[in-house]
Amino acid sequence: MSTVVSEPHVGDALSVVQAGRRRRRRRWALVTGILALTVVAAFAVSLMFGQTFYTPAEVWGVLTGHRVSGASFTVGELRLPRAVTALLTGLCFGMGGVVFQSMLRNALASPDVIGINTGASAAAVFGIVVLGLGETEVSVMAMAAALAVALSIYLLAYRKGGSGPRLILIGIGVAAMCQAVVSYVISRAAEWDLPAAMRWITGNLNDATWDRALPVAGAVIVLGPLLLSLAGRLEILRMGDETAAAVGLPVERSRLLLIVAAVGLLAFGTAAAGPIAFVSFLAGPIAVRLLGPVGSPILPAGLVGALLVLVADFCAQYAFGTRLPVGVITGVLGAPYLVYLLVRSSRSGGTTL
Amino acid sequence: MLWVALFVLALAVVAVLSVTFGARDVAPADIWAGLTGSTDTTSAAAVSKRVPRTILAMLVGAALAVAGAVLQGATRNPLADPQILGINGGAALAIVTGIAFFGLNSASGYIWVGMIGAAGAALFVYAVGSLGRGGPTPLRLALAGAVSAVAFSSLLSAILLPRINVMSVFRFWQVGGVGGATPETILQVLPFLLVGLVVCLASASSLNTLALGDELAAGLGARVRTARVTASAGAVILCGAATAVAGPIGFVGLVVPHICRLLVGVDHRWLLPVSAAGGAILLTVSDIVGRIIARPEEIEVGIVTALIGAPFFIALVRRQRMRAV
């Protein structure tokens, strides 16, 4: 009897669920598509505008390999590597950051707060000032240091299973230690090393070159898809360790895999442009706010990160007379956002992502 | 009582060591010559430079340790420390703003502005950390402090980078050190430290009441909010003044009160004076270590305390039951 009655109900529920799923997928695709278009537009704008304006046709000519007088150098050699580096590092910081924020279920727990970027900076500054290393070696060192820092935070926080809050606090302690190293080395730096070393404090695209853009491009191509393929596991981890284990997810292994992929992206991004402050901190929550509770925020967060870096770098170059490093703009943006988080958390409680 | 005597003795020993060791070690006879004002030999001259340095290290160490103990008591937060909570960063930002925009150049000006910055940062971080459900947990305060510190330092670089002259002053100030101490700087900062110290010591017994929890403290007739604000104000005066003369020095305020609490218990009337002595000892020892570890160069005391203190912070976090946090 009951089966007969509930049969149409099941059909109804199924169609409702399917419709909801379709609606959410459409919304995710819509938001991501719009973000991608905006990023492309910002990229194009940063190629066209500057001290001199070049028409889209001229820029396109340069991009397709033709010789355009004037534009070939300005756009091809100066603006293009810079814009590409901005785009790629933004992707890295956004994607890597949202993984940490989602996993630790705290919008404040972004990698720039818990010491991973600081670890990379400390190694890089040390490499430049003390060891006098070149670009590639410095990047490799920054990467190794970021991985080492992430791993040691993870191991220090691991006691009969990791704990989110403990990981965050230990990260803050490690960040303070790395910061001490950075301060010390900077105070010892010779005047001529100072500009290069300062890049590792605030994040700077002023001397972006193709050499430096290539490793980060490789990282995005390899680690980006890997991270996207882990997006489903991240969504389950967000529900809490107990729930994730209950639905059959290997919790610690998934977490380690996610951390390694995210740290790899962050480290390559940091090696290319320095620790651009707060891109991770801002990108994840903005993406989540735009999406609503639909789908994985990894790709949208990456796009928001790219957009942030492109726009902030454009403003930093042309809006203030002197060419400021991009990290200063994004870092200053972080302060009002923190206030916004505060206002919002007083209504809904907590600072969950 | 025993601990107090031991601490005083240790303080005296450390003072002698601090005058003796450095880029050039000096003989006892030269110490005496230096103390009596002679600068004839190089060693005696070194001594007359090291005496103010030692005194300043002790004052700053005592101030930071007492500030840490008071902040930990007032917020009932074991992880409270001027560095972790971003208070040092706020003081730094205020001082740099003063130098760059308002032509600030006197030591007493640094102190006032540093104190305003420290107070502003403390209020901001506490507000960020305490709104929302659950109130100001140690985790939230630490996160709010870390995020604010990054925001402050970005604002700071935005101010600094176009101004090379301010930057060259600042990059030596920001590492935190007592090497530049002169009798004049000590006399300028001393009144502020004394006021802060008196305020903190006077609130010792109300901190004891606060430790019982807000409801019980109010039930016992304590003015909870007044007590908390007064004690924190004392701590902020100490932090701001210490940061203004010696740069941001972290973790002294975290490490010392915890160790002293193990030694003398949780009564703030004992804890605060013992922390003061302990902070003076720790900072002076860190300064000595920084002087002899990389001879003939020096490592600033702020670096040494961070390298000692951060692992301590991590150990503290590991020991805590995170559910309680």
How many Cβ atoms from other residues are within 10 Å of residue B59's Cβ? Answer: 27
- Among B140, B150, B322, the strongest candidate for a mutation testing the A interface, having the largest count of A CBs within 10 A, is B150
| Cα distance between residue B6 and residue B8, in whole Å | 5
Cα B146-B152-B158 angle, rounded to 5 deg: 140
- The alpha carbon of residue B165 is apart from the nearest alpha carbon of chain A, in Å, by 12
Burial class (CB in 10 A: 0-12, 13-18, 19+), A222: middle
- The alpha carbon of residue A9 is apart from the nearest alpha carbon of chain B, in Å, by 40
In this complex, do B310 and A180 lie within 8 Å of one another by their Cβ atoms? yes
Chain B residues in contact with A112 by the CB 8 A cut-off are 150
Chain B residues in contact with A281 by the CB 8 A cut-off are 147
Cis bond upstream, residue B296 (ω within 30): yes
pLDDT at B41: 66
Q: Over 60: is that where the pLDDT of A348 sits?
A: no
How many Cβ atoms from other residues are within 10 Å of residue A256's Cβ? Answer: 15
The residues, ordered by sequence, that sit 6+ positions from B70 with a Cβ below 8 Å of its Cβ are: B200, B203, B207, B231, B232, B234, B235, B272
The residues, ordered by sequence, that sit 6+ positions from A15 with a Cβ below 8 Å of its Cβ are: none
Q: Name the DSSP letter for residue A276.
A: -
List b or e across A170-188, with b for residues whose CB sees 16 or more CB atoms inside 10 angstroms: bbbbbbbbbbbbbbbbbbb
Q: Over 80: is that where the pLDDT of A177 sits?
A: yes
pLDDT at A163: 64
- The alpha carbon of residue A305 is apart from the nearest alpha carbon of chain B, in Å, by 18
| Cα distance between residue B323 and residue B325, in whole Å | 5
The dihedral built from the CA positions of residue A248, A251, A252 and A255, taken in this order, carries a sign that is: positive
B67 neighbors B56 (Cβ within 8 angstroms): no
Q: Does B100 touch chain A (CB under 8 A)?
A: no
* CA nearest to A342 within chain B: B128
| Cα distance between residue A110 and residue A106, in whole Å | 8
How many Cβ atoms from other residues are within 10 Å of residue B103's Cβ? Answer: 8
End-to-end Cα separation, chain B, in angstroms: 33
- The alpha carbon of residue B151 is apart from the nearest alpha carbon of chain A, in Å, by 5
Nearest to B131 among A176, A322, A346 (CB): A346
In this complex, do B146 and A198 lie within 8 Å of one another by their Cβ atoms? no
Nearest to B155 among A112, A184, A332 (CB): A332
Nearest to B142 among A169, A322, A346 (CB): A169
Per-residue pLDDT of chain B (325 residues; tens, 9 = 90+): 677 788 888 888 888 888 777 666 766 666 666 666 666 666 666 777 788 888 888 999 999 999 999 988 887 777 788 888 888 888 888 988 888 888 777 777 888 888 889 889 988 888 877 766 666 677 777 778 888 887 887 788 778 777 777 776 676 666 667 777 778 888 888 988 999 999 998 888 888 888 887 778 778 877 777 888 888 889 888 888 888 888 888 888 888 888 888 888 888 888 888 899 999 999 999 888 888 887 677 788 888 888 888 888 888 878 765 433 3
In this complex, do A112 and B140 lie within 8 Å of one another by their Cβ atoms? no
In this complex, do A183 and B302 lie within 8 Å of one another by their Cβ atoms? yes
B62 neighbors B280 (Cβ within 8 angstroms): yes
In this complex, do B306 and A177 lie within 8 Å of one another by their Cβ atoms? yes
Average pLDDT over residues A167-178: 84
Chain B residues in contact with A186 by the CB 8 A cut-off are 171
Q: Over 80: is that where the pLDDT of A293 sits?
A: no
Chain B residues in contact with A113 by the CB 8 A cut-off are 143, 146-147, 150
- The alpha carbon of residue A323 is apart from the nearest alpha carbon of chain B, in Å, by 8
B99 neighbors B232 (Cβ within 8 angstroms): no
In this complex, do A278 and B150 lie within 8 Å of one another by their Cβ atoms? yes
| Cα distance between residue B242 and residue B283, in whole Å | 12
pLDDT at A343: 60
Chain B residues in contact with A349 by the CB 8 A cut-off are 132-134
Nearest to A334 among B150, B162, B297 (CB): B150
| Cα distance between residue B82 and residue B99, in whole Å | 22
Q: Which of residues 290-309 of B touch A (CB under 8 A)?
A: 297, 299-300, 302-303, 306-307, 309
Nearest to B171 among A108, A186, A281 (CB): A186
Tokens linked to A247: 């639905």
In this complex, do A328 and B139 lie within 8 Å of one another by their Cβ atoms? no
Nearest to A202 among B154, B251, B307 (CB): B154
pLDDT at B244: 83
- The alpha carbon of residue B62 is apart from the nearest alpha carbon of chain A, in Å, by 21
User: At B239, which amino acid appears?
Assistant: C
- The alpha carbon of residue A72 is apart from the nearest alpha carbon of chain B, in Å, by 30
If pLDDT is split at 50, 70 and 90, which confidence band does A2 have?
very low
Average pLDDT over residues A28-57: 88
Q: Does B139 touch chain A (CB under 8 A)?
A: yes
Q: Which of residues 165-184 of B touch A (CB under 8 A)?
A: 171-172, 174-176
Average pLDDT over residues A163-190: 80
CA atoms within 13 A on the CB side of A332: 15
In chain A, pLDDT over 70 holds for what percent of residues? Answer: 88
